[in-house]
Structure 1
Amino acid sequence: MNDETEVWVSRAMMDTTLIKGFDSDIYEADEEKALLGLRMTRRAEIVTPDQVPKIMWLKPTQKLKNAPDLFLGGGYWIASAALADVLRQFDLGETKLYPVSLFRSDRKTPFDGEHFCVAFGEIKDTALPELSPRLGKVPYRTDPLWTLSLAPEDGDVALSPGATQGVDLWMEPKIRDAFFLSRNLVTALRAAKLTKRLGLTRCRVIRPN
């Protein structure tokens, strides 16, 4: 990623309309292993291919005509081929895109297109909550953790200059349910018309005087 002043944050992880009811092969075969992998991906810890699903199917109670370009299925973030194609053009570091086959509830009828499990594997500890008054502090925690506002605005999140260096997609350990993107990545996603459901707002990069 180039040293740019513009960094963006997505609230997609807070969007409950992106939650879709899916079951998976890994959960069916080994629930404990599946839950461990889920906890790791939520913390952007590196996971191996055998820690994410290879096959997922829609729950019988869930109605879904078409899979969105990004959604949470069975606890895993799933990207369309179109979204994955854009992401691959950038520095993802240890974040991986693992192929996953999506089926209807009969486990036989596939959803159209290819899909990929997004296994976040990069963090940058650059968030400055003390300079981000609209962030909400998560109560009853020994380790300080914050969340985005329910109606986030540009400038809500302050970051140190390190946010402009390194990978183009990452998570921040002090901010829950959010991922961050470089300016160049957001520009490419916009060109591909893939930002509609990402809930993007611009961060403030605080540079020394």
Structure 2
Amino acid sequence: MSSVSSNYLLGNKLGIREKFFGQDWAPPKFEQDALTPEQLANVNRSSQGEKLEREEFVEAAYVFDHRRWSRVKDLFWVSGFLAVKGKLAELLKDFDLGGGELVEFPIFEMDKTTQLSGPFYFLNFGSQKDCFVPRESQRVSFLARNKKTGQELWSGPIEPKDGEIAVSASARVGADLWVDPKLSSAIFMSGLLHDAIEGAKLKIDFRFARARIVPD
């Protein structure tokens, strides 16, 4: 598993701003504007592994500080959505994303017309597995229960250690990359995908920890 979603540095002063569908471009400043309730709901849905429509993501972005943008690695945030580029994007294309996909989006120069070479993609998870086992896990806390669906939500440590998070054996089946909606700020992946990411030497702190598999 990876708690990279808790790594605020992936979205800190990247030198880019965004445009949502049907809205004006955000101003060229580092301070982010508050998301609308609908935009925030889409960000939360994405983080829980739900597949979004293209129009529910950011439409495009532009660079207003090239010095900052030149330091951005292959995984970064755009208004709450995880985005990928470069070697990481190409690597992910070789793995089973289940119901998920990479959604391409443009990034422009300051003139908002000249497009950067890219390509750039949003990580549209779209793959969920009900595999997190809270009673067998350590340093986890119950947060809430959805009154309509009964779905529980738990939080784990920001940087879990190997074996602290338990998953059922069913995690071995299906997609190489997924989210369990019961555990916030956690991304799960197969050992093969983990090894490929580590072998690529991307210089990104994914905050990896090995999950402990328990019987179903």
Tell me the TM-score normalized by structure 1.
0.81
Match of 1:19 in 2: 11
- Structure 2: how far apart are the matches of 1:170 and 1:115? 20
1:166 to 155, 174, 187: 174
Match of 1:187 in 2: 195
Is 2:40 the partner of 1:45? Answer: no
Deviating runs (4+, > 4 A) in structure 1?
31-36, 108-112
Number of aligned positions between the proteins: 197
- Structure 1: how far apart are the matches of 2:64 and 2:81? 15
Quick check: 2:163–2:211 contact (8 Å CA) kept in 1? yes
- Structure 2: how far apart are the matches of 1:104 and 1:18? 20
Instruction: Give CA-to-partner distance per residue, 1:142-179, whole Å, 9 cap, x none.
Output: 34322221331101100010011110000011100111
Quick check: 1:26–1:34 contact (8 Å CA) kept in 2? no
Amino acid at match of 2:106: S
Match of 1:90 in 2: 95
Structure number with the bigger relative contact order (C-alpha 8 A, sep ≥ 6) is 1
Match of 1:57 in 2: 62
Deviation at residue 16 of structure 1 after TM alignment: 1.1
1:142 to 145, 168, 185: 145
Instruction: Give CA-to-partner distance per residue, 1:72-119, whole Å, 9 cap, x none.
Output: 111111101311111111111111101112235553565563211111
Instruction: Give CA-to-partner distance per residue, 1:47-80, whole Å, 9 cap, x none.
Output: 22233234112467x9433322111111111101
Match of 1:3 in 2: none
Amino acid at match of 2:18: D
Deviation at residue 195 of structure 1 after TM alignment: 6.5
Quick check: 1:20–1:74 contact (8 Å CA) kept in 2? no
**CA distance 1:12–1:104, shift in 2 (3 Å):** farther
Amino acid at match of 2:215: R
SS in 1 for 2:5: helix
SS in 1 for 2:23: helix
Quick check: 1:27–1:34 contact (8 Å CA) kept in 2? no
Match of 2:130 in 1: 125
Structure 1 unaligned regions, length at least 5: 1-8
Match of 1:207 in 2: 215
Structure 2 unaligned regions, length at least 5: 25-35, 147-151
Once the two structures are overlaid, the 10-residue window that deviates more, 77-86 or 105-114, is: 105-114
SS in 1 for 2:76: strand
